[in-house]
Amino acid sequence: MMEQGTVRGNKLTFHLKQFLRRTFDVGSTGVDLDIREFERQFELLGFRHMIMKVRAETALGIEGFTANYRKIMP
């Protein structure tokens, strides 16, 4: 596996390419997910706010998720 990262302005992007196959059994239906590519992007919107976006290319298609973070302690 190899992870590459780039920085552009307030965005950090990490891209993971897997040279070894990874398969995960998901749920009770026995669906196998073959993870081909995985990408994380962190965006700093201010001193107290960050967004993380995750994109994964699997055997079933492309999935994406977003998480918002806020700093609550000084």
* Tokens read off for 53: 């976006």
- Report pLDDT digits (tens) over 5-56: 999 999 999 988 765 566 666 666 666 677 778 889 999 999 899 999 998 8
Specify the pTM: 0.69
Domain ranges of the chain: 2-70
Q: What are phi and psi of 69, to 5 degrees?
A: -125, 140
Distance of CA 52 to the CA centre of its chain: 8
Residue 70 and residue 52 in contact, taking contact as beta carbons nearer than 8 Å: no
User: Which tokens is 59 given?
Assistant: 């055997």
